[in-house]
């Protein structure tokens, strides 16, 4: 059965410290209301790359303490500091996370051999399984079919969080590696990803839109493609509105309309403005408010 994961957000206070109570509220909403199958902790949506090392540890602790064994958990431990990645891989494994993930190293135009070494080093000393986080639009790193094959030679590397608009490559990867886990990372392209045989999806908008996304997955599995297309269209209307209103702070502002204390984004990300708040209220009323 295909699984749906929310990319967990982190609630911050105005001073950039972590709002633990708000982060816990978002975890509970995802589990109790959204009924997601899992949480992807420490990813882009969680503002991981704006955090200090100590804040990353704090979020990993909060998430597993609050979620316990209610849902699957994946901890994103990737960092430009390989020693930090290795440390966090052991840290979350010791906490009890069943899976780890790591973004491809970015900024310095690393060679593939360096990227391969990075992944092998992360998993070398931990008893855990790793999911490659491939997101070329943010990292500038596009892995080829043969490069994925080389990475999969390590038995601890079990799959991909595939946040890539190259669906020709996705089809090739799925066909060549039928036993590897592939989780779609672009919420707006869930339906074509399902058609290409992904095992599930991880996304930021599922924090708000999980029910619709799960209904789309169920419709696809039942062969009701017209219904699945309509649900994807409805989701994409919501996604377009969130992007136009600045997606990361808007996700948190809409959460507040749902009664969840999601805090604010951490600077230098945008802080709420009166226009943004009004936009979030409209998004809630237009796309999420239940009669």
Alpha-carbon distance of 30 to 4, in angstroms, equals: 11
**Alpha-carbon torsion (271, 277, 282, 284), positive or negative:** positive
Alpha-carbon distance of 124 to 116, in angstroms, equals: 12
Is 183:202 a contact under the CB 8 Å cutoff? yes
Q: Identify the H or E element spanning 261.
A: none
- Catalytic pick from 133, 162, 248, 284? 133
Alpha-carbon distance of 108 to 86, in angstroms, equals: 19
Judge whether 266 counts as a catalytic residue: no
Is 246:2 a contact under the CB 8 Å cutoff? no
- Catalytic pick from 86, 116, 161, 266? 161
Q: Which residue has the tokens 């909403």?
A: 29
How crowded is residue 237: how many other Cβ atoms within 10 Å of its Cβ?
A: 13
Displacement of CA 91 from its chain's centroid (Å): 20
The response to whether 202 counts as a known ligand-binding position is yes
The response to whether 23 counts as a known ligand-binding position is no
Please give the structure tokens belonging to residue 191: 């339906």
φ/ψ region of 238 (left if φ > 0, alpha if ψ in -120 to 50, else beta) reads alpha
Backbone angles phi, psi at 101, to 5 degrees: -145, 160
Judge whether 161 counts as a catalytic residue: yes
Question: Which residue positions form the known binding site?
Answer: 45, 202
Question: Which residue positions form the known binding site for pyruvate?
Answer: 45, 202
Could you list the active site residues?
133, 161
């Amino acid at each position: 059965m295909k699984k749906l994961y929310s990319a967990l957000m982190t609630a911050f206070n105005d001073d950039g410290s972590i709002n633990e109570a708000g982060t816990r509220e978002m975890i509970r909403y995802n589990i109790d209301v959204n009924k997601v199958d899992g949480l992807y902790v420490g990813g882009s949506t969680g503002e991981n790359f704006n955090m200090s090392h100590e804040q990353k540890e704090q979020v990993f602790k909060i998430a597993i303490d609050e979620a316990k064994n209610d849902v699957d958990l994946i901890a994103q431990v990737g960092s430009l500091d390989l020693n930090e990645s290795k440390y966090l891989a052991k840290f979350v494994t010791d906490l009890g996370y069943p899976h780890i993930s790591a973004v491809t190293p970015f900024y310095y135009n690393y060679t593939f051999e360096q990227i391969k070494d990075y992944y092998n080093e992360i998993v070398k000393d931990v008893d855990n399984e790793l999911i490659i986080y491939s997101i070329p639009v943010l990292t500038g790193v596009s892995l080829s079919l043969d490069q994925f094959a080389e990475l999969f030679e390590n038995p601890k590397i079990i799959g991909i969080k595939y946040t890539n608009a190259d669906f020709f490559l996705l089809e090739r990867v799925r066909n060549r590696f039928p036993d590897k886990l592939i989780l779609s990372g672009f919420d707006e392209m869930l339906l074509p990803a399902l058609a290409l045989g992904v095992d599930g999806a991880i996304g930021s908008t599922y924090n708000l839109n999980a029910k619709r996304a799960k209904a789309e997955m169920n419709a696809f599995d039942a062969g009701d493609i017209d219904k699945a297309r309509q649900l994807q269209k409805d989701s994409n209307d919501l996604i377009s509105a969130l992007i136009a209103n600045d997606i990361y702070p808007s996700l948190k502002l809409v959460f507040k309309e749902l009664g969840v204390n999601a805090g604010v984004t951490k600077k230098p990300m945008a802080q709420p403005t009166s226009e943004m708040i009004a936009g979030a209220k409209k998004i809630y009323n237009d796309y999420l408010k239940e009669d």
